[in-house]
């Protein structure tokens, strides 16, 4: 699926990247809101579900901070919300996703899959590969700049 925008779009820059991010995030947040969840909760819960080994709260805070560049205190609040909603459970020093937490992620993924297919569908594989390379480089450079600013 090619659109007029694909042939007349401006070159990628921070603004274009931000607009794409917030457009896609808006779709996800719409689905999350129907389940009473926030974007940050979903990111933290996904980190817990995707982990190869049980994670401590500090492990999850570090991961989510790396993903979102968010304040650790705010991420701790998010983890507390997930615990209160029984989407995560404490298991000694570790936080584990509950069946309800896994079901939430599965339900949101199922709801957003058709929309994602419409958004991403028809984009040539070589364009996706090029965009992936550019976005990975931008992420790497931005992370380095942020690290220098906060050092």
Give the CATH number, domain containing residue 101: 1.10.10.10
Name the CA radius of gyration of the chain, rounded: 18
Confidence of residue 36 (pLDDT cuts 50, 70, 90): very high
Mean pLDDT of the chain: 93
pLDDT tops 70 at residue 2 = no
128 CB-contact burial (10 Å; exposed 0-12 / middle 13-18 / buried 19+): exposed
For the ranges 9-18, 54-63, 85-94, 117-126, which has the lowest average pLDDT? 9-18
pLDDT above 70 (res 3): no
Per the domain annotation, does 59 fall within a domain? yes
Is position 115 within any domain?
no
Question: What domain count does the chain have?
Answer: 1
* pTM (predicted TM-score): 0.87
- What is the arithmetic mean of pLDDT over 37-47? 97
Residue 18 lies in a domain: no
Is residue 125 in a domain? no
**Residue 71 within a domain:** yes
What is the mean predicted confidence (pLDDT) over 8-15?
86
Q: How far apart are CA 46 and CA 27, in angstroms?
A: 17
**Does residue 118 belong to any structural domain of this protein?**
no
**For 75-103, what is the mean pLDDT?**
97
Length of the chain: 151
Residue 19's beta-bridge partner residues? Answer: none
3-state class of 88 per DSSP?
strand
Enclosing domain of residue 104: 27-109
Residue 84 included in any domain: yes
Of 33, 57, 31, 32, nearest to 44 by C-alpha is: 57
What pLDDT score does 20 carry? Answer: 94
Q: Examine residue 80 and state whether it is found in any structural domain, yes or no.
A: yes
**DSSP 3-state assignment of 8?**
helix
């Amino acid at each position: 699926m090619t659109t007029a925008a694909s042939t007349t779009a401006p070159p990628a820059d921070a603004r274009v990247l931000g607009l794409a991010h917030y457009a896609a995030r808006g779709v996800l947040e719409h689905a999350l809101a129907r389940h009473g969840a926030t974007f940050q909760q979903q990111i933290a819960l996904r980190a817990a579900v995707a982990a190869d080994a049980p994670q401590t709260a500090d492990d999850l805070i570090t991961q989510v901070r790396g993903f979102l560049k968010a304040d650790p205190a705010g991420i701790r609040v998010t983890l507390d919300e997930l615990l209160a909603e029984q989407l995560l459970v404490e298991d000694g020093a570790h936080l584990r996703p509950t069946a309800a937490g896994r079901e939430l992620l599965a339900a949101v993924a199922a709801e957003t899959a058709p929309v994602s297919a419409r958004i991403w569908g028809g984009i040539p594989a070589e364009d996706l590969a090029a965009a992936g390379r550019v976005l990975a480089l931008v992420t790497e450079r931005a992370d380095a700049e942020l690290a220098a600013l906060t050092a």
